[in-house]
Amino acid sequence: MPSTLLSIISKQALPTLHFIKQFREPDSLFIFISTIEMEDTQATQYIIEALSLPLDKCRTVIIDANDAAQAKEDLAKAKFAKQGKYLINLTGGNKLMSQMVFQQLQFFDADMFYAPIGSSTYQQLYPEIKQIPKKTSISISLKEYLEAYGFEMSISEDLIQYQPSPKKLFQRVLKTGHPAKVAEIATATDQEYKELDKNYLMGTWFEWYLYDHFKQTLKLAPSQIAFNVGIKRKDNPSLLDKDNEFDVMFIYQNDLYVFECKVYPSGKLKTNRISQPLFKLSSLTQNFGLQCKKYFAYLGEFTEDSQAKDQLDILRHNLGVVKILEIEHFRKESGKDLLRNDEAYKIDQLIKKFNS
């Protein structure tokens, strides 16, 4: 008998993606425990499509998430086959849903698991308690991740890499300390400049550089990273909206990273030049799951006083943006160090110092 993978559907699609990728076999069957509310958003369908699961091996069971007696009746009516092995993911849904699934299937041949978001292991809760490491070999693509949350992506295929190369431009910015001091960038800021490479020199090169940098330093597969990405909801028939474009997106250790990138080649920056991209970044990523990590990277000079910087940092924190990356960060850090959450790192270092 083929094994049956049973998952409880919630707004967080990532745990279900990982569970199925880790435990599925070629002949596995799939059962999804969901609610009317979640199915109104096509949550189960998006996961099935993201993983290209065969429809004839998938089944969705709707239960009441707030009424234990009704949920028990809904599960009983489902008449689950008593033959075969069940692998059950209790991570999704609310506590009532997971408890009712446990009660219904505890006398089946079933292994039940729980894995908090961010955990490196599955906690097997039944029939025995033990830990099972998440397979580090499991890879979730950017397309799979976005599709599981109900989005489709589009990548521009007609981008032209002009000269100087992104790497050379970046090195010149670091050397001079400001993009306005790089001749090609300064020339492109002139309103009279109409050459085809204007947009490239004004900022596209920086997106391209970060794409290349993270792809190489984090050893990402082509399917895990993209830049200049257009996003739209799968249930929206309209064309892609220019306002829903993301500069750089990638999957690292199965989490989604999103970058907003800006090059400010003229003038000294005031708070609003940075706060506006932060608001955009927070707004456009709110439906990408709890593990979506947001960053704002800019090249320019922020000149307001320390109080303004403190207020900007409070805004960053409140909007859920992990880090604002400036020129000095790029001088000192690269790869995963650029992604490091400095707040969490400082707390961790203090704890280690206290315990030593």
Outline which parts of the chain fall under CATH 3.40.1350.10: 143-354
CA distance 151 to 283: 15
pLDDT of residue 125: 96
pLDDT score recorded for residue 354 = 59
pTM of the model: 0.91
Enumerate the CATH 3.40.50.10770 domain ranges in the chain, comma separated. Answer: 4-138
Residue 291 has a pLDDT of: 86
Q: Return the pLDDT at 301.
A: 86
Strands 121-126 and 110-114: antiparallel
**What is the CATH architecture of 4-138?**
3-Layer(aba) Sandwich (3.40)
Q: What is the CATH number of domain 143-354?
A: 3.40.1350.10
Q: What is the pLDDT along the chain (356 residues), one digit of tens a residue?
A: 789 999 999 999 999 999 999 999 999 999 999 999 999 999 999 999 999 999 999 999 999 999 999 999 999 999 999 999 999 999 999 999 999 999 999 999 999 999 987 889 999 999 999 999 999 899 999 999 999 999 999 887 667 778 999 999 999 999 999 999 999 999 999 889 899 999 999 999 999 999 999 999 999 999 999 999 999 999 877 766 556 889 999 999 999 999 999 999 877 788 888 999 999 999 999 999 988 999 999 999 887 677 888 999 999 999 999 999 999 999 999 999 999 987 755 555 555 555 66
Rounded distance between C-alpha atoms, residue 67 and residue 251, angstroms? 37
Who contacts 244 (Cβ-Cβ below 8 Å, separation ≥6)? 230, 231, 232, 284
Which pLDDT score, from 0 to 100, does residue 347 have? 59
Closest CA relative to residue 8, chosen from 85, 88, 69, 87? 88
How far is the C-alpha of 169 from the C-alpha of 230, rounded, in Å?
25
Alpha carbons 132 and 113: distance in angstroms, whole number: 9
